[in-house]
Amino acid sequence: MSPASRDAEIRDVRYQRYDGQRRGRGAAVMSLARWGALRSLGARRGWKAKAIPITLILLAVAPAVIVLGVRALFAEQSGIDLSDALPFSGYQAIIGIVILLFAAITTPELLCPDRRDGTLSLYFSTAVSRREYLAGRVLAAILPLLLVTLVPLLVLFAGIMVFEEFPLAWFWDNWDELPRILAAGLINAFYYGLVGLAVSSLTARRAFAVGGYLLLLVAPTVVGGLLGEVFPDSEAVELMNLSVLPISFAGEIFPDARDDIPNDLWQWALIYAIVVGAAVLVLLRRYRAGTDG
């Protein structure tokens, strides 16, 4: 032992009162949501963890940027009608694989590390309840997903308005598209986020969560495609396409796409509610009182 170590002393080990601002339980939920969302996007992690989400976000916005860029560079030559070239109703179908992969990458990061590292008991030993923890994680899954389900549509909407000869007049004639865009973004974010969290709650391994999530959504889609070949006149088979179910449901919100999407709006809404409801039940069961999730 060095002389410096022998002379070291510990002074003032008393507990101190917390004198900072005290906020409500809602602040705890929002804190879980904020830091969970940032972590899923790669905050405080290596560059590889940041590169994949950022790349997927850029890919989601790319179709809108490309069409708007062509319009800006070749306005006179192209004569492009941006509303027809890239309709709001079909945008999410174009980037569907990007949305699916983004959810598969980000949602396991919200639950699997807590289960693997045994930190759930630390959360629940505080004033945070299981339901509040779960609410924070659900928000943390949905908010980043809006970057690929909602933001690209808003970019497209804003770009079209800017390139119009009379932007304010165009906005006045098309403002009713904004509620549809918002609804479409939320429909997709809730679906992919809740299903991703439900799968992630079943394992502590992120690789298993990603694989299970993709299998759960893609396998029924493959089966539905095979059945569609056998029963080409059956529109009900399309309802099995779980990987694109929310995209089809959201597309039905836009009047211009209703004739192109099989089945009625209520049918898509019913299957959507069943899948999302099942995901919520799985989460509530995994994080019910008296368990460690």
SS (H, E, C) the chain: CCHHHHHCCCCCCCCCCCCCCCCCHHHHHHHHHHHHHHHHCCCCCCHHHHHHHHHHHHHHHHHHHHHHHHHHHCHHHHCCCHHHHCCHHHHHHHCHHHHHHHHHHHCHHHHHHHHHHCCHHHHHCCCCCHHHHHHHHHHHHHHHHHHHHCHHHHHHHHHHHHHCCCHHHHHHHHCCHHHHHHHHHHHHHHHHHHHHHHHHCCCCCHHHHHHHHHHHHHHHHHHHHHHHHHCCCCHHHHHHCCCCHHHHHHHCCCHHHCCCCCCCHHHHHHHHHHHHHHHHHHHHHHCCCCCCC
Region 80-92: mean pLDDT is 77
In this prediction, what percent of the chain has a pLDDT beyond 70? 84
The 10s digit of each residue's pLDDT in 210-225 is 999 999 999 888 887 7
What is the spatial distance between Cα 168 and Cα 98, in angstroms, rounded to a whole number? 32
The pLDDT, as a whole number, for residue 28 is 82
Q: Do residues 87 and 256 touch, judged by C-beta distance below 8 A?
A: yes
Give the domain ranges of the chain. Answer: 24-286
What is the spatial distance between Cα 26 and Cα 19, in angstroms, rounded to a whole number? 20
Is residue 75 over pLDDT 70? Answer: no
The pLDDT, as a whole number, for residue 7 is 61
The 10s digit of each residue's pLDDT in 169-203 is 989 988 999 999 999 999 999 999 999 999 999 99
Burial of 262 (C-beta count, 10 Å sphere; 0-12/13-18/19+) = middle
Residue where the block lists tokens 């095979």: 226
For 11, 198, 201, 248, the CA distances from 163, given in Å and listed in that order, are: 68, 42, 46, 29
What is the spatial distance between Cα 197 and Cα 293, in angstroms, rounded to a whole number? 12
The total of other beta-carbon atoms located within 10 Å of residue 169's CB is 11
Q: What is the pTM of this model?
A: 0.86
What is the spatial distance between Cα 58 and Cα 151, in angstroms, rounded to a whole number? 11
